[in-house]
């Protein structure tokens, strides 16, 4: 399994107790969706290693986890490691909700300017994520906010937006 075939579920933040348990930080919208996990991939030295879960208790965006066949010393070595799951385990989104990785390569159509290019990447700034849209050799940065996104067309792989007045003109 490669990182490209997975999404990041969260991170192992610290040990818990003395029996080899750890605390997961679950970096997802609905942590309770992952309360029945049997296994996760743990990133160790840039490789994804499967670890099987014996017990998992979700509390908010944290979980207390007991891995199978892991002692306290081995668990301590995993602190700070990122957690991954296969992309197929992501819940399906509908309406105007989408995953950032899902929209890369989609066409963007502005209500005023028409086709403004293709989403090359999502720049995930803490204050404001942005679409990086490429139109020929020009870059256009559009904020990812509900007021801008008007329609997500999964079938046509098109994002319909209404950009703030004058924003697109700054780039073109």
- Reported as a pLDDT band with limits 50, 70 and 90, residue 135 is very high
pLDDT of res. 94: 85
Q: Is 172 helix (H, G, I), strand (E, B) or coil?
A: coil
Q: Is residue 95 part of a domain?
A: no
Q: How far apart are CA 85 and CA 42, in angstroms?
A: 9
Q: Is residue 94 part of a domain?
A: no
pTM higher than 0.85, yes or no?
Answer: no
- For residues 84 and 7, membership in a common domain is answered with yes
Contact assessment for residue 142 and residue 130, using Cβ atoms and an 8 Å cutoff: yes
10 forms beta bridges with: 26, 83
Mean pLDDT of 154-171: 95
Q: Is residue 33 part of a domain?
A: yes
pLDDT of res. 78: 97
Residue pLDDT, tens place only, 53-75: 999 999 999 999 999 999 999 99
Residue recorded with tokens 């290019």: 117
Contact assessment for residue 73 and residue 41, using Cβ atoms and an 8 Å cutoff: no
More confident residue, 93 or 51: 51
Contact assessment for residue 53 and residue 20, using Cβ atoms and an 8 Å cutoff: no
- Reported as a pLDDT band with limits 50, 70 and 90, residue 130 is very high
Q: Which domain holds residue 152?
A: 100-171
- For residues 79 and 112, membership in a common domain is answered with no
Mean pLDDT of 118-139: 94
Residue pLDDT, tens place only, 6-44: 999 999 999 998 889 999 999 988 899 999 999 999 999
Which residues does 51 contact at the CB level (< 8 Å), separation at least 6? 39, 40, 41, 42, 67, 68, 70, 78
- For residues 140 and 74, membership in a common domain is answered with no
Domain boundary among 36, 64, 89: 89
Sequence-distant contacts of 63-67: CB under 8 A, at least 24 apart: 63/23, 63/24, 63/26, 63/31, 63/34, 63/35, 64/16, 64/21, 64/22, 64/23, 65/21, 65/22, 65/23, 65/24, 66/19, 66/20, 66/21, 67/20, 67/22
Residue pLDDT, tens place only, 82-126: 999 999 998 888 889 998 889 999 999 999 999 999 999 999 888
- For residues 70 and 129, membership in a common domain is answered with no
């Amino acid at each position: 399994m490669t990182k490209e075939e997975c999404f990041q579920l969260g991170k192992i933040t610290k040990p818990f107790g003395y029996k080899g348990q750890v605390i997961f930080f679950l970096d997802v919208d609905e942590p309770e969706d992952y309360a029945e996990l049997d296994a996760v991939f743990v990133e160790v030295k840039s490789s994804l290693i499967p670890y099987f879960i014996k017990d998992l208790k979700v509390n908010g965006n944290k979980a207390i986890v007991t891995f199978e066949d892991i002692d306290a010393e081995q668990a301590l070595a995993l602190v700070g490691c990122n957690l991954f799951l296969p992309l197929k385990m992501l819940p399906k989104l509908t309406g105007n909700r989408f995953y950032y990785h899902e929209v890369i390569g989609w066409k963007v159509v502005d209500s005023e300017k028409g086709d403004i290019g293709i989403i090359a990447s999502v720049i995930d700034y803490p204050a404001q994520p942005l679409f990086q849209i490429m139109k020929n050799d020009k870059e256009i940065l559009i904020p990812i906010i509900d007021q801008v996104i008007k329609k997500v067309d999964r079938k046509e792989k098109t994002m319909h937006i209404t950009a703030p007045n004058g924003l697109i003109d700054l780039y073109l």
